Structure 1
Amino acid sequence: MIRILDRENTLLNRFVAQMRDVNVQGDSMRFRRNLERAGEIMAYEISKSLRYARHTVETPLGAAEVSLPDEPIVIATILRAGLPFHQGFLNYFDDAQNAFVSAYRRYSKDGSFNIHVEYISTCELSGKTLLLVDPMLATGASIVLTHRALVEKAGMPQRTIIASVIASEEGLEYTKKHFSAQNTTIWCGTVDAELTVKSYIVPGIGDAGDLAYGDKM
């Protein structure tokens, strides 16, 4: 299943607009904060789809019945662009476990590239809900390979939730195809139609990692 949030009225649109705006995105601190706020809003929306259980909480004056999320959650992201987005999810799912993967594009002289996974830090995933969050879902290859690497190291989660701020149509189709046999939901803030020859989303936002943390060599 795919959920696209900007097909409804949502405050997320404001933060996505600021991340896109060349007159705003040059402020890296504001860009990181907008990514974090996007993560918070998406965490709230995703929380509505989780399994809940009834609990009793003792107050100074009695007992209150509440429904609380009842799934063990692991939030995973791809370094480095995913860190502020990840923090937004962690602000809301503050008792979640966490995983981090270093995945990057290794370019050839002809301009083509392969996704290379270099570092994985994760807890056991078997039987848990994996929240795999990455700001940009361009080709979809990074998400697919990251998920595969996590599963090979830590086991198959009970279900996977993928969250991105901006996705391309091509990336959504690729991701949906590779997760078709699994219990997976894809959430994104908005969807753009095009990819450049270097697989950047158009109109997109540019390089999220560079905008958040500065240019890299």
Structure 2
Amino acid sequence: MRVHVADHPLITHKLTVLRDKRTPSPVFRQLTEELVTLLAYEATRAVRVEDVEIQTPVTTTVGVRIADPKPLVVPILRAGLGMLEGMVKLLPTAEVGFLGMARNEETFEPTTYAERLPEDLSDRQCFVLDPMLATGGSLGAAIDFLFARGAQDVTAICILGAPEGVAAIEKQVGDRDVTLVLGSLDERLNEKGYIVPGLGDAGDRLYGTV
């Protein structure tokens, strides 16, 4: 598994505002979108392309375009939805699927309550969106789900990660082709399974409590 922690002052600046508990939901949502676009730039370095000949105003030349089958972007509901717009803004030709997962707050184990994905993901590059990599349960389950459908390689984009979550994903994926892109690798998890210093519950801060 490859792990890339983004190191850019704009990312650090936006993360600082996201972490601040005084940041209201509208600002939080806007900054999340901007931040994910920056992370998506890093995450798509290995996106598959194919040559294409075009005519410029001066001459013909060969460029590249996103290859078929198109990449699949999969936000993990609900918090991953807040990352979707920032991702498809950079990769507008991608298709979008959905995975609904919830964490049991006592066992920290994930359960899948909804999915909207192609039955066959053979030869597809998949980009999973999950704001917080804490214990790694939900993200690990999502990665397993995609590979079970035939995905060839999976890139996970997370705003924050904890060392415990990174280690859990690394152990789970084995030699499968997985890349993890983080905005920041934080210190640790607390006794409730929350990232420290973190930014709280991303879903609640994006959309409010239900």
Say if 2:173 is the partner of 1:179: yes
Which sits farther off after the overlay, 140-149 or 68-77?
A: 68-77
Q: Please state how far the C-alpha of 1:172 moved relative to its aligned partner.
A: 0.4
Q: Is the 8 A contact 2:47 2:125 kept in 1?
A: no
Deviations 1:158-197 (A, max 9, x none): 1111110100000001011111220111111111121111
Q: Which 4+ stretches in 1 moved above 4 angstroms?
A: none
Q: 1:197 corresponds to which letter in structure 2? A: E
Give the match for residue 145 of structure 2: 149
State the SS of the aligned residue for 2:109.
Answer: strand
Say if 2:2 is the partner of 1:33: no
State the SS of the aligned residue for 1:126.
Answer: coil
State the SS of the aligned residue for 1:11.
Answer: helix
State the SS of the aligned residue for 2:182.
Answer: strand
Normalising by structure 2, report the TM-score. 0.91
- Between the two proteins, the alignment pairs up a number of residues equal to 207
* Percent of residue pairs bearing the same amino acid type: 28
Q: Is the 8 A contact 1:20 1:204 kept in 2?
A: yes
Q: Is the 8 A contact 2:127 2:157 kept in 1?
A: yes
1:170 to 164, 170, 173: 164
Q: CA RMSD in A?
A: 1.7
Say if 2:94 is the partner of 1:93: no
Normalising by structure 1, report the TM-score. 0.88
List gaps (5 residues or longer) in structure 2: none
Q: Please state how far the C-alpha of 1:61 moved relative to its aligned partner.
A: 4.6
Say if 2:1 is the partner of 1:3: no
Give the match for residue 114 of structure 2: 119
Q: Cα gap change, 1:10/1:157 in structure 2, threshold over 3 Å: closer, same or farther?
A: farther
Pairing of 1:171-210 with structure 2 (within 5 A): 171-210=165-204
Q: 2:45 corresponds to which letter in structure 1? A: K
Give the match for residue 134 of structure 1: 130
Q: Is the 8 A contact 1:138 1:171 kept in 2?
A: yes
List gaps (5 residues or longer) in structure 1: none
Q: Distance in 2 between matches of 1:215 and 1:95?
A: 33
State the SS of the aligned residue for 1:55.
Answer: strand
Q: Distance in 2 between matches of 1:13 and 1:56?
A: 39
Q: Please state how far the C-alpha of 1:29 moved relative to its aligned partner.
A: 1.1
